[in-house]
Structure 1
Amino acid sequence: MTTQEIIELIKIDKLYQFYKSKEWMSLKNEVLKEHHNECVWCKQQGIIKKAVTVHHVQFVKKHPYLALSRYYTYKGKTYENLLPLCHDCHDKAHGRFQYKKKEQWNEEKW
């Protein structure tokens, strides 16, 4: 799948087709296997939990050219772009459900 094809899927709101593509499925399985199907964020905390998905650090909608890239470079340093995560950590990464940032109250709100 090319970057242009991914951009087109984003435009027509059908990015889910990218996540079903053979290129993504193959890369996802490779990343999971390399990390022994373990969530990297849980592992950093000393917890072993099964990874169920691979998270794009650089979101596909914002950086479609990195959709199939394992790494990205920022200010001359190279970072992992694809991280195997458990369901809870993936929700945290996207700020979903109970992990949404809560609005803080301050004196100006009163």
Structure 2
Amino acid sequence: MKWTKQEIEKLIEENKLYRFYKSKEWVILKNKVLDEFHHECQWCKEKGKVSRAETVHHVQYVKTHPELALCEFYEYRGKQYRNLIPLCHDCHDRAHERMKYRKVKQVNEERW
């Protein structure tokens, strides 16, 4: 099965996007990307650290760009960019500003 934009949009609308992430097409593509980068987290690697990547991050989020859900690359202003990047759980949480990586809004100016 090749996912269409409309099918993914329907999953998003129904809050069932997990079905896409469990699909054979996604699992095959995810494993291909992980193998291509030797299961190394690319953000950690940029900082000189070596970490095992367990997940593949969509640079162009599936919820905002469902048409790119199964695309390794995307084009912007005539230049090609990588859409799928292997990341460790910690970096993936940072990418989505989850848990401890949420930006904290400062209520008022500190006066110490």
> TM-score, normalization: structure 1?
0.92
- Which structure 1 segments of 5+ residues have no match? none
Which residue does the alignment assign to 2:73? 71
Distance 2:4 2:31 in 1: 19
Q: Which residue of 1 aligns with 2:82?
A: 80
Structure 1 runs of 4+ with >4 Å offset: none
Q: CA RMSD in A?
A: 1.1
Provide the C-alpha distance between the structure 2 equivalents of 1:94 and 1:70, rounded to a whole number of angstroms: 19
Q: Which residue of 1 aligns with 2:59?
A: 57
Distance, in Å, in 1 between the alignment partners of 2:13 and 2:98 is 23
Determine the structure 1 residue equivalent to 2:94: 92
Match of residue 8 from structure 2: 6
The DSSP-based 3-state class of the residue aligned with 1:42 is helix
Range that drifts further, 1-10 or 20-29 = 1-10
Cα distance, 1:90 vs structure 2: 0.2
SS at match of 1:36: coil
Q: Which residue pairs with 1:39 in the alignment?
A: 41
What pairs with 1:25-36 in structure 2 (closer than 5 Å)? 25-36=27-38
- Larger helix percent: 1
Instruction: Report how many aligned residue pairs link the two structures.
Output: 107
Residue type at the aligned position of 1:61:
K
Match of 1:16 among 15, 18, 43: 18
Shift of residue 106 of structure 1? 4.9
Distance 1:24 1:37 in 2: 16
Give the TM-score, by structure 2 length: 0.91
| Letter in structure 1 aligned against 2:101 | Y
- Shift of the alpha carbon at 1:105? 4.4
Give structure 2 stretches of 5+ with no counterpart. Answer: none
SS in 1 for 2:11: helix
